[in-house]
Structure 1
Amino acid sequence: MTPHTAYPWEAPASGAAAALATQLVMSVPTLETARLTLRAIQLSDFDTFADILMSQRALYMDGPFDRETAWSEFTQCASGWMLRGAGYFTILLRDTGAVVGFVGMGMEYGDQEHELGYFLTAEAEGKGYATEAAEAVRDYALGHQEVPSLVSYIDPPNTSSAAVAARLGATRDTLSEAAFDTPVQVWRHQLEAYA
């Protein structure tokens, strides 16, 4: 993990601002799966987030990024809750509390629909955590949050991410893919109860 750089914007709030930040974080739901806890993104998660986005793991996400761009992505993942009622969660192992990645339902600039996205640390890959976390978020997004549609935008060479989407029962939507200027796979998710 990259050592924390003490930039002022990465430092925790204090006083009344900290109390308000805590209140806002508490308004984001916590989801539980058999092995994982999905909770609101917190400032203390940024080093892990930056490590992923500044590495080759972000190759299929238009990365790797520098720390400044990773910060911009981080704040966008967190702010979705306030702006759209849909954002990202930090993925923690229930037994140890270790942060292993991020998963969420977002709508970034340029997205045509809500996107189910997921990315993990290198150590967490290959254990089924992405599928487990993404399934919980898919069900929450399409069920409780009633988002009108949910897709995963996947870079064609990212076969691991496509395999997660397929395990979730998502299907390729080649008609939607044609609307993009660059190659992208659009995997359409449905809530299993309504499929």
Structure 2
Amino acid sequence: MPDIPSIKTERLLLRPMNMADWPRYAALMQSTRSVYMGGPHSPKDAWGLFCSDVAQWALMGHGALMLENQRSGQCIGQVGINHGPLFPEHELGWFVYPEAEGRGYAFEAACAFRAWAYETLGIESLVSYMDAENHRSRRLAERMGAVLDSTAPRPDPDDLVFRHPHAER
């Protein structure tokens, strides 16, 4: 297995996933809150997504990290880089659990993970695929400086694709 990083930000620890993360992850993926991530998912499909988030580290050298509030120690969401046969390009994605919304955690985590991907992995380009109705994620991508790319390939023809800039550009 490759070394899975832990990344500290001002308020968060982005850390490897573990089995203690599964119950809340499963609950989110099986709820209507996952509608913009292809859900709600069955328990079996949620487990497949969870395992994929971990397995991509061994297969691709990147995957997902959980967001842990450094002060409380509570897991509050996830950030990840997806790629492989289901994703035409490296995709930066995120979610936070309901109690963490609106506090800038997703922005903080996504910016830190994007910087890690560009600086450490040397990824040339990152995109975020999202449902056109996912207004919160769209605002977050725009706040990060990502721009709509209507010509980019996408896993779902109805998805919007936001292309992320390199920090130094």
**Residue 163 of structure 1: aligned partner:** 139
Unpaired segments ≥5 residues, structure 2: none
Structure 1 residue 180: Cα displacement: 5.8
**Residue 40 of structure 1: aligned partner:** 16
CA distance in 1, matches of 2:23, 2:159: 29
Query: What is the correspondence of 1:1-195 to structure 2 with a 5 Å cutoff?
Result: 24=1, 27-176=3-152, 182-193=157-168, 195=169
- The question of whether the paired residues in 2 share the 8 Å contact of 1:115 and 1:151 is answered with yes
Structure 1 residue 47: Cα displacement: 0.8
- The question of whether the paired residues in 2 share the 8 Å contact of 1:52 and 1:120 is answered with no
Structure with the largest fraction of strand:
2
Q: Relative contact order (alpha carbons < 8 A, sep ≥ 6): 1 or 2 greater?
A: 2
- The question of whether the paired residues in 1 share the 8 Å contact of 2:26 and 2:46 is answered with yes
- The question of whether the paired residues in 1 share the 8 Å contact of 2:87 and 2:155 is answered with no
- The question of whether the paired residues in 2 share the 8 Å contact of 1:92 and 1:98 is answered with yes
- The question of whether the paired residues in 2 share the 8 Å contact of 1:77 and 1:87 is answered with yes
The code of the aligned residue for 2:23 comes to: D
Structure 1 residue 152: Cα displacement: 0.2
Cα RMSD for the two superposed structures: 1.4
What is the TM-score of this pair, normalised by structure 1? Answer: 0.83
The list of structure 1 runs, each at least 4 consecutive aligned residues, that deviate by more than 2 angstroms after superposition, is 179-182
Structure 1 residue 170: Cα displacement: 0.5
Identity of aligned residues (%): 36
- The question of whether the paired residues in 1 share the 8 Å contact of 2:88 and 2:155 is answered with no
Larger Rg: 1
Bigger CA drift: 91-100 or 105-114?
105-114
- The question of whether the paired residues in 1 share the 8 Å contact of 2:28 and 2:34 is answered with yes
Structure 1 residue 159: Cα displacement: 0.5
The code of the aligned residue for 1:184 comes to: D
